[in-house]
Amino acid sequence: MDAIEVRGLHKRYGDTVAVEDVSLSVEAGEIYGVLGRNGAGKSTTVEAVAGLQRPDRGEVRVFGLDPRRDRNRLRQVLGVQLQDAALHAALTVRELVRLYRSFYRDGADPEELIEHVGLTGQRRTRFEHLSGGQQQRLNIALALVGDPRAVVLDELTTGLDPEARRHMWATVEGLRDRGVTVVLVSHHMEEVERLCDRVALIERGRVAAVDTPEGLVARAGLEQVVRFRTAAPFDPAVLDRVEEVRSVRTVGDQVVATGSGNLLHAVSTALVKADVVALDTRFERATLEDAFLSLTGSPFDDASGSER
Amino acid sequence: MSTIDTAPHRPGPRAWAALVAAEGKMVVRDTAGLIIPLGLPLLILVMNGMGVFGEASVGGVSVFELYVMPLVLTIVIATVGVVNMPSFLAYYRRTHVLRRLAVTPAHPGMILTAQVVVSLVQSLVGVALAVTAAMLFFDVGVPDRLGAALAVFGLAALTMYALGLLVAAVAPTGNAAVAIGLTLFFALGATGGMFGPTDNLPAPLAAVGESLPFGAAVQAMGRAWADMDQNPAHLVAMGAAILVSTAVAVRFFRWE
């Protein structure tokens, strides 16, 4: 069952093509990551889902609703946290949560929600006096205030300190437990790896790949590395017949074996069989970031192109 | 494809009230923004009052009632409508407040309504202050044609809000909105008698000023105060300004 469907989305601003051709289908209840570098078309895509952008071509459906034509029905069930959105500067946290709550037929209890995002101590503080991280937390609270069935979170944890970030991650996982569909636009690889059930890689306005985070890493076909030291001099022949191992090097007293598949287990087994005592065993595998680089063919932080 | 059974839901009276309250708090907490609509009219009242008090009357009609009071009331509604309201809206647009609201069930049109309601309250407070001061210190009476005065005041207020919406719609930035609003305010004011009776202006300029919203509002309110029949030209001028400004504002309004 698809909660959100995007088919053949195309959007240009003047001469700049923001989205060339994007199709996504987000299943109900999953956390769906949208990953890509600045200017790849992530924000434009989710803004089309939120009904803020009118597609030049293509179709968007959220729970079967057209975000622009069925605006009044959609708004009750879709929560949105936008990048760079501001609120009434002179209103306090509590006033803003209550104001936004009043727009929805059903919704969260304002006090509980404020506590949930950790702003109880700031509930009488004006928006303009909150720190960046606190403003961000308030924005997330407001995306959730209408008890949405789906939420779009654009750069969820940008500007949050590590503790607040982990707290937000727990909040998003809690949404999944309640069956809420989440579309998460992110730059943060660890966040995507930890939270997302599936991830779409967007590159130059197109979908480069869609898979689970592990699937993307596997798809990139990057090698794993096992490093260890041995007390006695090591004979590399011990690993010769291990299928998963592709190469073995010794650097001083350190041994470096590269390969794929279940490499760590295969190497450990072979060492035990040969009665080799391995010390300081370390295992390195490709991260989502490595996979991203490999699948899109250029460095992630190369922020060429303007935002959206 | 999963679908939902949600009936269309529009925010109810509580949401409208909450938004009006929110806009009201924004205005009240912007203390500097209150000085002009509430303080400037009082200042003009007092300065003019000391100048003309007790001496001037034209054909038995007090200059104060014919000229000063209408001028002060027009200044109140013009500053609130033409200067304050568009600067708030432009500020909301620049900081993406409107964009944030656009993804909630609150129709952005609610913001406009809330702004007008809050502006109206500000105008009424400014007017109440000015009229009370005039009655206490300068012996000004209730308008001779109270109904006509209220109707003309309402029409003039709508005219100024329509101009304000026009400024908000065409101004590219918040600064531009303030600049355009102030320029418009002083241009209309200068030709409409804000800096002295229009008799002192060259005749053609005075005639033009009288058919522009500010001048028309001053003239029409003065006539109502001083028991004179309305000149239809003033009312037509304000009506035309409302229609044209609103049409252009709706055509060019952008939420972001």
Radius of gyration (C-alpha) of chain B in whole angstroms: 20
User: pLDDT tens for residues B197-250?
Assistant: 777 778 888 888 888 999 999 999 988 888 888 889 999 999 999 999 988 887
Beta strands A254-259 and A245-251 are antiparallel
Percent above pLDDT 70 for chain B: 90
Sheet holding A150-154, edge to edge: A57-62, A2-13, A16-27, A206-211, A198-203, A31-35, A181-186, A150-154, A78-81
Structural domain count, chain B: 1
Confidence of residue B156 (pLDDT cuts 50, 70, 90): very high
Q: How far is A140 from chain B (nearest CA, A)?
A: 12
Determine the 3-state secondary structure of A6 from DSSP: strand
Q: Which amino acid is at A14?
A: G
pLDDT of residue A307: 39
Task: Find, among A303, A98, A165, A244, the residue nearest to B25 by Cα.
Answer: A98
Whether residues B4 and A5 touch (CB distance < 8 A) is answered with no
Percent above pLDDT 70 for chain A: 96
CA distance B117 to A196: 46
- For B12, which residue in chain A has the nearest alpha carbon? A103
Question: A175 near A30, Cβ under 8 Å?
Answer: no
User: pLDDT tens for residues A239-293?
Assistant: 888 888 888 888 888 888 888 888 889 888 988 888 888 888 888 887 888 888 8
Fold classification of A2-218 is: Rossmann fold (3.40.50)
Confidence of residue A65 (pLDDT cuts 50, 70, 90): very high
Predicted confidence (pLDDT) at residue A301 exceeds the cutoff of 90: no
**What's the distance, Cα to Cα, between the start and end of chain A in Å?**
29
pLDDT of residue B52: 67
Sheet holding A224-230, edge to edge: A245-251, A254-259, A224-230, A278-284
Predicted confidence (pLDDT) at residue B7 exceeds the cutoff of 70: no
Confidence of residue A298 (pLDDT cuts 50, 70, 90): low
- The complex's ipTM? 0.77
Question: B217 near B72, Cβ under 8 Å?
Answer: no
Predicted confidence (pLDDT) at residue B51 exceeds the cutoff of 80: no
User: pLDDT tens for residues A81-118?
Assistant: 988 778 898 999 999 999 999 999 888 999 999 998 88
- For B88, which residue in chain A has the nearest alpha carbon? A88
pLDDT of residue B54: 57
Residue B212 resides in a domain: yes
Predicted confidence (pLDDT) at residue B44 exceeds the cutoff of 90: no
Whether residues A76 and B3 touch (CB distance < 8 A) is answered with no
Within 15-34 of A, beta carbons closer than 8 Å to B belong to 28
Spell out which residues of chain B touch residue A64, defining contact as CB-CB under 8 Å.
Answer: 1-4
Whether residues B6 and A77 touch (CB distance < 8 A) is answered with yes
Whether residues A91 and B6 touch (CB distance < 8 A) is answered with no
User: pLDDT tens for residues A22-45?
Assistant: 999 999 999 999 998 888 888 899
pLDDT of residue A126: 95
Which DSSP state fits A64? Answer: T
Confidence of residue A295 (pLDDT cuts 50, 70, 90): confident
A180 near B CB under 8 A = no
Whether residues A52 and B15 touch (CB distance < 8 A) is answered with no
Dihedral over Cα of B212, B216, B217, B218: its sign: positive
Enclosing domain of residue B103: 33-52+59-252
Which DSSP state fits A92? Answer: B
Fold classification of A223-283 is: Alpha-Beta Plaits (3.30.70)
Predicted confidence (pLDDT) at residue B10 exceeds the cutoff of 80: no
Mean pLDDT to the nearest integer, B94-115 = 82
User: pLDDT tens for residues A161-182?
Assistant: 888 888 889 889 999 999 999 9
Q: Could you tell me which residue, B147 or B140, shows the higher pLDDT?
A: B147
Give me the DSSP letters along chain B.
-----PPP----HHHHHHHHHHHHHHHHH-HHHHIIIIIHHHHHHHHHHHHHTTT-EETTEEHIIIIIHHHHHHHHHHIIIIIIHHHHHHHHHHTTHHHHHHTSSS-HHHHHHHHHHHHHHHHHHHHHHHHHHHHHHH-----TTHHHHHHHHHHHHHHHHHHHHHHHHH-SSHHHHHHHHHHHHHHHHHHHTTTS-GGGS-HHHHHHHHTSHHHHHHHHHHHHHTT----HHHHHHHHHHHHHHHHHHHHH----
Mean pLDDT to the nearest integer, B149-175 = 88
User: Exposed, middle or buried: residue A279 (CB in 10 Å: 0-12, 13-18, 19+)?
Assistant: exposed
Determine the 3-state secondary structure of A283 from DSSP: strand
Whether residues A75 and B26 touch (CB distance < 8 A) is answered with no
Predicted confidence (pLDDT) at residue B95 exceeds the cutoff of 80: no
User: pLDDT tens for residues B169-192?
Assistant: 888 777 888 899 999 999 998 888
Question: A292 near A40, Cβ under 8 Å?
Answer: no
Task: Find, among B256, B237, B89, B96, the residue nearest to B165 by Cα.
Answer: B89
Predicted confidence (pLDDT) at residue A209 exceeds the cutoff of 70: yes
Percent above pLDDT 90 for chain A: 41
Predicted confidence (pLDDT) at residue B39 exceeds the cutoff of 70: yes
Residue B4 resides in a domain: no
Confidence of residue A305 (pLDDT cuts 50, 70, 90): very low
A80 near B CB under 8 A = yes
Spell out which residues of chain B touch residue A84, defining contact as CB-CB under 8 Å.
Answer: 96
pLDDT of residue B27: 85
pLDDT averaged over every residue in chain A: 87
Question: B181 near B83, Cβ under 8 Å?
Answer: yes
pLDDT of residue A306: 38
Mean pLDDT to the nearest integer, A227-247 = 85
Instruction: Tell me phi and psi for residue B255, to 5 degrees.
Output: -85, -20
Residue B23 resides in a domain: no
Predicted confidence (pLDDT) at residue B56 exceeds the cutoff of 70: no
CA distance B234 to B237: 5
Range of lowest pLDDT (A216-225, A227-236, A273-282, B1-10): B1-10
Q: Could you tell me which residue, A147 or A158, shows the higher pLDDT?
A: A147
CA distance B75 to B77: 6
Question: A24 near A5, Cβ under 8 Å?
Answer: yes
Residue B139 resides in a domain: yes
CA distance A124 to B202: 56
Residue B18 resides in a domain: no
Residue B98 resides in a domain: yes
Determine the 3-state secondary structure of A69 from DSSP: coil
Question: B181 near B87, Cβ under 8 Å?
Answer: yes
- For A46, which residue in chain B has the nearest alpha carbon? B103
Task: Find, among B185, B178, B159, B182, the residue nearest to B249 by Cα.
Answer: B159
Task: Find, among B159, A1, A292, B105, the residue nearest to A300 by Cα.
Answer: A292
